[in-house]
Structure 1
Amino acid sequence: MTDIKTDILVVGAGASGIGAALSAAEKGASVVLLEKGDKFGGAGMFGAQGLFAAGSELQKENNIDYSPKDAYQEMMNYTHYRSNTRLTRAIINKSADTISWLSKNGLETELVNNTQEVHQNHPRVYHQYIDKFNGFQKLIDKFISNGGRLFTKTVIKKFNYTDGNIVNVVIDKDGHESTIYCQKIIFSDGGFVGNSEMVDKYLQISSKNLFSMGERKATGDGIRILAELGADTSGMGVFENHAASVVSNTDPKWHNDTIFTLTNLPFLWLNRNGERFVNEDICYDFALWGNITYTNGGYYYFILDQNTIDYLKSNQLDWTNSFERTFTTLAHTPVTHVVGPFPNIESDIQESIDKGATVVGKDVSELSKYLGCNPDTVNRNLNEYNKIISDNNDSDFGKSTEFLKFPVSKGPFYAIKAQSTTLGTIGGVSVNDNLQALDKNGRVIKNVYATGNNASGMYDTSYPTLEGISCAFAWNSGRLAGESAKATLNK
């Protein structure tokens, strides 16, 4: 490769990077887009199925009365005003236009029911991609038709920055180095969930109890460069907690449909001390479910006794698999609101035992021993829960009576470990409402931007319950950064 001159360099070709690159290119800037992997799209394409918006044309057409003002207030109430108000306002105010902008450029969306059971009474905000892979390709085609250049399998080797100006950027593509000369740089490479060292540094639980569904190649490269420039990293450490998963430490690709479904139901949960700690129907809100798992050390056990196993083997249960609506929304099929029966439940549980995800005890004492818990504590909590079932009233945590169905009284007892799950890091460096990176004194680091999971400020300590908001943050932060970078060229 020969040396390259461009107005704007965007690092990372996920949703925020594509949003930044295309927004700048269509307004006349020359743009180079770098991608570490061999494919564009990132988590915004391979992971997400859609995004949040407030006040979109699709919502108006469907008589959904949910304005940017409503969304802003809901977000600020959720974060208790411990987030960046100007950034939050900018992202939400941009969201409706982004739905139209995506459609104009080839990625259509449709307004669907909110994908989680507990959010059905909330105004519809989830704009699901239509034909997303072809749609993303059309966005890239539009970027290239506007003069943009995309380089895959390319990483930054050196970033030379002096007195507020980018001197040059040395890149490596397929083992060949070259130099890029640019005025502006936008770091959009997805946070650091793929960097185990950084995750261990900022995680508040043991990383062995974190199951990551995030982008593995998001290894914090951009954040590292930003930190070297003096960017404020005080917002690091916020993870997109999302439900809980049963995983095998010996076989990370293991999946069992029965165990997966059982994890998504509100049975009895005990924490690492053998105590019940929450109304288990929290599993119907993925963000809150993820948060309570995280704050209890990153894992819990859901407990089944032999009577429950026998029942589930031959009976249908009139509960909803908490993930079923997500899958049926994608497929445009109705929710069944039933699960089971599970005729192979015994062999499925044996498989989870073999994979190290489940322990079984013939009585409470043996179960407690395997869990490493005080048997008196476990026994007391089981007795208290059984009384709750008998009274049909959860006076401890307020679990809905429809789920007070299964006492835990007959051995053997099965404890299945559910671990904290993340979709990625959502804490990065501080930015303003133009997504310009800020130093520790809140001053702009000239000509440098951070978007998507490289930027902090939209959240306080966790992912909010507004569906699709992190993907919306990616697209909208990218667009805002691209537009700002173009508008301030030569300034």
Structure 2
Amino acid sequence: MKALSTSVVVVGSGSAGISASFELYKQKIPFILLERGDKVGGAGKFGAHGVFAINSKQQIAKGVTYDYQQAFEGLTEYNHYFVNGELLSRFLKKSGANIDRMTEMGLSVTVEQSEQEAHLNDPLVYHKFNNFKDKMNNWDQLPAKFVEAGNTVLTETAAVDLDYENGLKAVIVEDKNGERTRISTQKVIFADGGYCGDPNMMAEKYADSKNLLNLGERKADGTGIKLAKKLGADTNHTPVLFAHGCAPSLQINPMRRDSSVETLTNLPLFWLDQTANRFVNEDIVYDFAMWANAAHNVGGKYYVLVDQKTIDTFKTQQVNLKDTFERQFCEVGETPRTTVGPLPNIQQDFDDAEKTGEVVKANSLSELSEKLNLSLPALQRSVDAYNHAIDVQDDDVFLKPTDELLFNVESGPFYAIVEHCAILGTLDGVNVNRNCEPVREDGTPIKDLYIVGNNVNGLYSDGYPSYEGIANGFAFVSGWIAGEESIKSLKQTKMEAL
């Protein structure tokens, strides 16, 4: 086995890992950064559009009054007090300073009203990356700075084991060819992004795991969580899915923006669950987290049902509905569209999706029920009830706004878009203290280990909340905390050795 030596090993180069590495780099502490993929970055680089913060200089300049008390009490109450209060407090109190720190990293953000329609009147807490392309490029430049300062960045290399006896001795890593290296080190920071890439862990925790559409980091296989648990870390917590939006498939998903099928899934049309029942006010489409939670609640899959007349209308007309993802892809200051259509390629898009199974087409409701294995009486009842709500302009069950009660479902062919709960990862793993050290069930910390980002329990009770950018904000700040605490511990050990 090859051998290397350093002071700290950082596992993962997403938001938490790159943030921890930056702190070590600034303080001139030798480290080795490991990245399982062939390039640096995780969900925070490839998907996130911003971070949550309070009391940033930008917010203060704009006169934002939403402060620590409101944020702490709001998140604590939202999660019914199933939170790690000290860790939440430390995150919130450092979140404002993190905005300037991100600028120093080359990852500049600007406080801007939330992208999502449901949050347009929320307090100004969302700090959006100024330019998505620049963010990607600047993230890629950070490893070169680390290496220039004498550190090591190993891509296509994963941690597989720890040598631990009354303290950390080494991290055992393995490259893409299966060759192992022993890295002698004093500290390790696990920032490897949760476990959404481990199908066994997902199936164990989520009954609907087969229906979930993973748009997150499939390389995140729970290594940090597993190795911490092996050393006695407490991993007891309600599973927390990083549910965020919905989509038909990896081929037809919001990141691609190239299919009319995907466009219609982003609108408050007519939704049915796997029992042929309507299950939510479809207006929830305008809140990504709650939209995905609603889908997760009905088994991770549902159907968007439209008829031919609706398809033809979208093909030739402009419709006064907002595409929920329209804002997501606007740069800072850009004005989003507030209508949809005309969509001249919609028929071809639906025909193509029918061939691949993302859309199921039938000439009658009876045929549709057979193809989807739905109860025909339940399907007919749901369609009749929805059409009645359209006719009288009153949704007396789910209370959809009248200006969204536009399209009934009357005559075939009928089209059912197969929609899945999309996830960006997982948000539970290891119980930690305020310093991001894993703790045992008795609350004592496991020294020399730090757990950050999506590996951490204690920020959420059972689901991702509607505080935009909070997962990414916590990833950056928790990586910063772990970097600071590892440096403090190294210095303390050095002092004790003198």
Q: Which residue, 268, 271, 275 being the options, matches 2:270?
A: 268
Q: Please tell me the residue identity of whatever aligns with 2:120.
A: Q
Q: Secondary structure at the match of 2:368?
A: helix
Question: 2:16 matched to which residue of 1?
Answer: 16
Q: Is the 8 A contact 2:110 2:332 kept in 1?
A: no
Structure 1: distance between partners of 2:378 and 2:219: 43
* Structure 1: runs of 5+ lacking an equivalent: none
Question: 1:232 matched to which residue of 2?
Answer: 234
Q: Is the 8 A contact 2:234 2:441 kept in 1?
A: yes
Structure 2: distance between partners of 1:13 and 1:102: 15
Structure 2: distance between partners of 1:387 and 1:250: 31
Query: 1:403-455: per-residue Cα shift (whole Å, max 9, x none)?
Result: 01112222222211111110111111111111001122322111111111111
The alpha-carbon deviation at position 256 of structure 1 amounts to: 4.8
Structure 2: distance between partners of 1:256 and 1:367: 26
Question: 2:156 matched to which residue of 1?
Answer: 153
Structure 2: distance between partners of 1:325 and 1:22: 31
Query: 1:135-180: per-residue Cα shift (whole Å, max 9, x none)?
Result: 32454355445543322222234311112x1122233346544322
Question: 1:198 matched to which residue of 2?
Answer: 201
Q: Which residue, 259, 271, 279 being the options, matches 2:261?
A: 259
Q: Is the 8 A contact 1:214 1:423 kept in 2?
A: yes
Structure 1: distance between partners of 2:463 and 2:174: 35
For residues 240-251 of structure 1, the aligned pairs below 5 Å read 240-247=242-249
Q: Secondary structure at the match of 1:136?
A: helix
Q: Secondary structure at the match of 1:429?
A: coil
Q: Is the 8 A contact 1:256 1:348 kept in 2?
A: no
Q: Is the 8 A contact 1:35 1:152 kept in 2?
A: yes
Question: 1:37 matched to which residue of 2?
Answer: 37
Q: Is the 8 A contact 1:22 1:142 kept in 2?
A: no
Q: Secondary structure at the match of 1:365?
A: helix
Question: 1:188 matched to which residue of 2?
Answer: 191
Question: 1:286 matched to which residue of 2?
Answer: 288
The alpha-carbon deviation at position 127 of structure 1 amounts to: 1.6
CA distance change for structure 1 residues 107 and 313 in 2, over 3 Å: closer, same or farther? Answer: closer
Q: Secondary structure at the match of 2:237?
A: coil
Question: 2:496 matched to which residue of 1?
Answer: none
CA distance change for structure 1 residues 192 and 313 in 2, over 3 Å: closer, same or farther? Answer: same
* Structure 2: runs of 5+ lacking an equivalent: 494-498
CA distance change for structure 1 residues 45 and 39 in 2, over 3 Å: closer, same or farther? Answer: same
Q: Is the 8 A contact 2:55 2:96 kept in 1?
A: yes
Q: Is the 8 A contact 2:112 2:332 kept in 1?
A: no
Structure 2: distance between partners of 1:68 and 1:113: 19
Q: Is the 8 A contact 2:252 2:261 kept in 1?
A: no
Q: Is the 8 A contact 2:106 2:135 kept in 1?
A: no
**Percentage identity across paired residues of the two chains:** 38
Structure 2: distance between partners of 1:337 and 1:174: 47
Question: 1:475 matched to which residue of 2?
Answer: 476
Question: 1:134 matched to which residue of 2?
Answer: 137
| TM norm structure 1 | 0.94
Higher alpha-carbon deviation: 100-109 or 286-295: 100-109
Structure 2: distance between partners of 1:4 and 1:248: 39
Q: Secondary structure at the match of 1:449?
A: strand
Higher alpha-carbon deviation: 224-233 or 130-139: 130-139
Q: Is the 8 A contact 2:276 2:382 kept in 1?
A: yes
Question: 2:335 matched to which residue of 1?
Answer: 334
* Equivalent residue pairs, number: 488
Q: Please tell me the residue identity of whatever aligns with 1:74.
A: G
The alpha-carbon deviation at position 14 of structure 1 amounts to: 1.4
Question: 2:419 matched to which residue of 1?
Answer: 418
Structure 1: distance between partners of 2:475 and 2:121: 26
For residues 88-487 of structure 1, the aligned pairs below 5 Å read 88-130=88-130, 131-144=134-147, 147-163=150-166, 165-173=167-175, 175=177, 176-205=179-208, 207-235=209-237, 237-247=239-249, 256-328=258-330, 330=331, 332-487=333-488
Q: Is the 8 A contact 2:9 2:171 kept in 1?
A: no
CA distance change for structure 1 residues 169 and 467 in 2, over 3 Å: closer, same or farther? Answer: same
Query: 1:12-31: per-residue Cα shift (whole Å, max 9, x none)?
Result: 11110111122234234322
Q: Tell me the C-alpha RMSD between the 2 structures.
A: 2.3
Structure 1: distance between partners of 2:239 and 2:461: 10
Higher alpha-carbon deviation: 27-36 or 82-91: 27-36
Query: 1:348-394: per-residue Cα shift (whole Å, max 9, x none)?
Result: 21111111112222222222222211111111111111121122121
| TM norm structure 2 | 0.92
CA distance change for structure 1 residues 15 and 68 in 2, over 3 Å: closer, same or farther? Answer: same
The alpha-carbon deviation at position 249 of structure 1 amounts to: 9.2
